[in-house]
Amino acid sequence: MVMKAIRYHAYGPPEVLRLEDTPTPEVGDDDVLIRVRAASVNPLDWHNMRGKPYVARLDMGLFRPKMSALGGDLAGTVEAVGGNVTRFRPGDEVYGGCGTDLTLGTTGLAEYACLRQDAMLRKIPAGLTFEQAAAVPVAALSALQPLRDKGRVRAGHRVLVNGAAGGVGTFAIQIAKALGAAEVTGVCSTPNTELVRSLGADHVIDYTKEDYTRGGRRYDVLLDLVANHGVIANRRVLAPGGVMVECAPSPGDWLGPVLGMAKTALTPRVAFFLCRVSGDDLAAVSRLIEAGKVKPVIDRTYPLDEAAEAIRYLERGHARGKVVVTV
């Protein structure tokens, strides 16, 4: 049995992506086969597609990619389950994926995906469409984990989210409020100010008119999703005991991102964070969605055969919320 899937066999721009016939994943005893209905794309997809930063090719494949698939998020219907699977059954509507761990060997930009039942896989929260559910996993966890685990956001905290209108930022505004933050400030461009305010931001800073690192406000937690200010500048706006969490690599195709991570690691009250795959955390996000505290924001949707255009649009860096691919 074959399926349609997005594959790439050389590094480069979106033109390297191809819609190909490929074998449908085999279902092991502990596996869940999912008929994918929607997927979403993340910055990791275009970084992998281009093989950048170049130092990452030491792991990804020096001259050509070891992994030929993309897409860490998915939502769909359970098609079949292995003999040991007890948590899911055919017909269940599920969402999740491999997140940032593409070595799991299955990805969302395909007609079918196969995940272990103990992977990042949960039933879709009531009221969400497949497209909305596919927008959640990587972006929501990339907001929840740094705010909760590194920033330790709690009642009374003042939180700033730099990059508030993007895929992660739109979740971060809502999750910070759900964690009890007293004030949440979002930084975005002029066209996105109303969107960010509608998600619960108490204050919105238009970066085209104001540099938040030179303002008078101080924050207990600064979540930086775009890395467009230096560490020293960001530390200026931290309150006593405040923490900055960097979730975006520093610019550069060579060693810039690596040196940026090292710099944050050596700077007091600054942490670099990468999202980790967690079924428990996806369940926590599901509870927030079902409680009406978090909702996904979708900018655009593309069909599977236009996945290259979806990644091209995301790569430009101006998406409002998530970019979704329907399958």
Out of 96-105, 201-210, 288-297, least confident range: 96-105
pLDDT reported for residue 305: 98
* Domains present along the chain, CATH in parentheses: 2-136+296-326 (3.90.180.10), 138-272 (3.40.50.720)
pLDDT of residue 270: 87
What's the alpha-carbon Rg for the chain, to the nearest Å?
Answer: 19
- Report which DSSP code applies to 125: P
Mean pLDDT for the chain overall: 93
- Percent of the chain past pLDDT 90, that is, above it, reads 82
> Tokens standing for 270?
């600054």
Instruction: List pLDDT tens digits, range 78-110.
Output: 999 999 999 999 999 999 998 655 555 568 899
For residues 248 and 231, is the Cβ–Cβ distance under 8 A? no
Enter the pTM of the model: 0.94
Give the closest residue to 160 by CA, choosing from 142, 184, 143.
Answer: 184
DSSP 58-124: HHH-SSS-S--B--S-EEEEEEEE-TT--S--TT-EEEEE-TT-GGGS--SSBSEEEEETTSEEEEP
